[in-house]
Amino acid sequence: MRNLVCRIGSGAGFAGDRVDPAIRLAASGEVDVIALECLAERTLLPALKARAVNPHMGYDPRLRRRLAPLLPVAHANSCKILTNLGQANPTEAGNEIIRLASDCGIRGLRVAVVHGDDVLSLADKIAWDRPITGTLVGAHAYLGVGPLAQAVAEGAHVVVTGRVADSALFAASAIAGLDFGETALAGALTLGHLLECSGQLTGGNFEPIGGELLSAGDYAKLGFPLAHVYSDGSAEISLLKDAPGRLDVETCTLQLLYEVHDPSHYATPDLVLDFTSVHFELLGRNHIGVHGAGSRGVPPTLKVSGFVEMPGWIADVEIGFAGTRALERARRAADVLRLRLAEWTESDLAIDLVGVDSVLRAGALPLLARPAELRLHVSARCSDLADAQIVEDEVYALTLSGPAGGCSLRSERRPRVEVVDGYIRASHVPTQVAWSTS
Amino acid sequence: MKLRVGDLAVGRAGDKGSVLDLTLVAHDEHSYELLVQRLDEHTVARLLRHSVPGPVRRYTVPALHAIKYVAPNALPGGVYASLHPGLHWQKAAIWLLLDLCIEGAEVNLPKEACEGRTNES
C-alpha cells in the first residue's frame, strides 16, 4: 500500500535556466512544491567575488527576475519553493525574498534560510583529492536533506540555501511522508536526481535514434517535469497536459546515469545509491513510473568543492576567414601563429579551426566539403595581462601581415580557475535553519 | 555491414571536475549486447585517447541496456581550465562514441571507416 506524499515540480536546472516553465507548473495547481536548482560549480565563484566586494551580495543576481513572477503564483496555489539561489549568501537571499514578498503584497510568507555549506573556515578538516597549488578562494560542502526537510516540516513557504546536493533539494519536501528505512529514502533521492536538470529529462539535450528533433516551437516552450512521490519512494513522472516535450524510458535512463560514475555507487550526502536495479515503466504518453533504487548505506563524508585561483590568465582570441581557399588561409594563419608564439609551450597554447575540428579534434567527423567560412581560435595560458595582450596583438597582426582576408576579430581574457574535489566528515559540518516572515 | 553506434543507442556526456562520463543507452537488448561486446574498455580507451587523455573505465547496467565510460583524467583541471574554444566542449564528447563505426569485429573512428556515411545530412 503506497500513499501519495507530495507532488514536486522541477522549476530550474541551473542558474540561467528559463523562468517561465516554473510559473506554468505553479499556476497549474498540480504541484505542492517547486525546486529551483540555481547553483552549478561555475556559479559559485562569481557569487563569492560579489560577496567579497559587498557583504550584502553573493546570492543569485537573477533572484528578482526568477522569483518576482513566480512567488505570487506559487503563493496563490499553496506551492512551496525550495532553492539554492542563496549561492554564497543565503541570508541576504532570504532578506531579499522577504522584501520581494512585501513588494508583491504577500504577508505571512515564512522563509527558512539553511546555512552550513560554506566550509572554508574548516579547510584543515577537508581531505582534498589532489594538492592545492593556487589560492583557495572558497570551499563549499554539499549538504543533505536534513535541514531542508526540517524547514519544510516546520512550515516554510520558501526554503533558500547555498550548496546542497541536487538530489536533496528536489527530494526534501517528500522526506516527512516516506516509509521508514533506506529503501524509500533511496527512491526519493533517485527521483531528486532525475528532476535536477529540468528540461534534460523531458526532451532537451536528447537526440533519439534516427535524429528526429523536436520542433523549434516545442524546444522553445519545453515543459519541465513534475513527479508524484509515494510513501515507498516510488514515483510517477509526467509533463503538464499541454506542455511540449518527450518523456520516455530513454530520456529517463540517460538522466538517471547523467554525471554518474559507478552506477552501483552514486554517492549523495544522505545515501550511496545503487541505480542498477532502477526500473522505468511507460505508463502513458509522457508518463513514466520509477522504482527499485537500492541503498548502500550512509556515506561518512560530504563532498566539498574547492575553488582555486591560479596565477595568470587565459587569453581567447579569434579571427575569421571566408571565401575561396578560406581553409588554406586559416591553416596557414595557424602556422604563422605557431611561429610567432613560439615562447608558449605546446600545453599552454591551443590553436583550433572552429567549424572543422575544434571540439572533438582527432575524433571529429571527416571534412567532406570545404567550409565556406571558418574561424581560427587561439587559447593561451599567460602569466600576466601583458602576455595576454601579446597573444591578442599577434592574432590581430595577421590582418596586415598574414594570409589575406583575416576578419571578424574578437578577444577575451578569463581568470584561471580550477575546481578541486574534497571530502569532509559530515559531523564536522553543523547546519542551521534561520527563519523570517514577511 | 557498417553500423554507427548512434544508430544503436542514445547517449549523453557529463562531467564532474576532471572526470568525463559518457553514457550509452541501447535501443534494445540485441544492440546492448553488440555494444558491450564491441566497445570494451580497451577499444574505447584506444579511440578516445586521440581526443582526451588518461584511462577509461567501463560500467554496464544490463537491466537498463546502459553502458558508462568514465575517463577520470580527461578534463585536466576541470572545464574552466580547458583551452578548447568556449566553455563546455565536453558536452559534445558523446559524439566520439555515437559516430564510431562498427564493421565486423572492427571499431573505428569515423575518419577511418564511416567516411561519407555519418555525414549524410
CA dist A243 and A111 (Å) reads 30
Length of chain B equals: 121
Residue B7 has pLDDT above 60, yes or no: yes
3-state DSSP call for residue A205? coil
Q: What are the phi and psi torsion angles at A427 (to 5°)?
A: -70, -15
CA distance B55 to chain A (A): 14
| B54 close to A (CB below 8 A) | no
Note whether A260 contacts B10, CB cutoff 8 Å: no
CA dist A166 and A190 (Å) reads 10
Residue B70 has pLDDT above 60, yes or no: yes
8 Å CB contact between A30 and A240: yes
Query: Residue A423, CB half-sphere, CA atoms under 13 Å: how many?
Result: 9
Residue A52 has pLDDT above 50, yes or no: yes
8 Å CB contact between A251 and A257: no
Q: Show residues of chain A in contact with B92, CB under 8 Å.
A: 359-360
Question: What grid cell was written down for A154?
Answer: 516546520
Burial class (CB within 10 angstroms; exposed 0-12, middle 13-18, buried 19+) of A323: exposed
pTM over the 0.90 mark: yes
Q: Show residues of chain A in contact with B80, CB under 8 Å.
A: 42, 414, 416-419
Residue A327 has pLDDT above 60, yes or no: yes
Place of cell 579511440: B47
CA dist B82 and A128 (Å) reads 21
Is the predicted ipTM greater than 0.85, yes or no? yes
Of A352, A381, A418, Cβ closest to residue B80: A418
Sequence-distant (6+) residues with CB within 8 A of B15 are: A259, B21, B75, B78, B79, B90
For A43, nearest residue in chain B (alpha carbons)? B80
Note whether B89 contacts A359, CB cutoff 8 Å: yes
Q: Which helix (H) or strand (E) holds A71?
A: helix A63-76
Report long-range pairs for B30-34 (Cβ below 8 Å, ≥24 apart): B31/B65, B32/B62, B32/B65, B32/B66, B32/B67, B34/B3, B34/B8, B34/B102
CA dist B38 and B47 (Å) reads 12
Determine the residue type at A181.
G
pLDDT in tens, B10-68: 999 999 988 999 999 999 999 999 999 999 999 999 999 888 999 999 999 999 999 99
For A276, nearest residue in chain B (alpha carbons)? B61
- Write down the pLDDT at residue B112: 54
For A130, nearest residue in chain B (alpha carbons)? B77
Q: What is the mean pLDDT of residues A381-396?
A: 98
CA dist A429 and A125 (Å) reads 10
Place of cell 516509509: A179
8 Å CB contact between A9 and A26: yes
| B30 close to A (CB below 8 A) | no
Most A CBs within 10 A among B64, B101, B111, B114, hence the mutation to make, goes to: B64
Burial class (CB within 10 angstroms; exposed 0-12, middle 13-18, buried 19+) of A343: exposed
3-state DSSP call for residue A100? helix
Banded pLDDT at A15 (limits 50, 70, 90): very high
- Write down the pLDDT at residue B117: 45
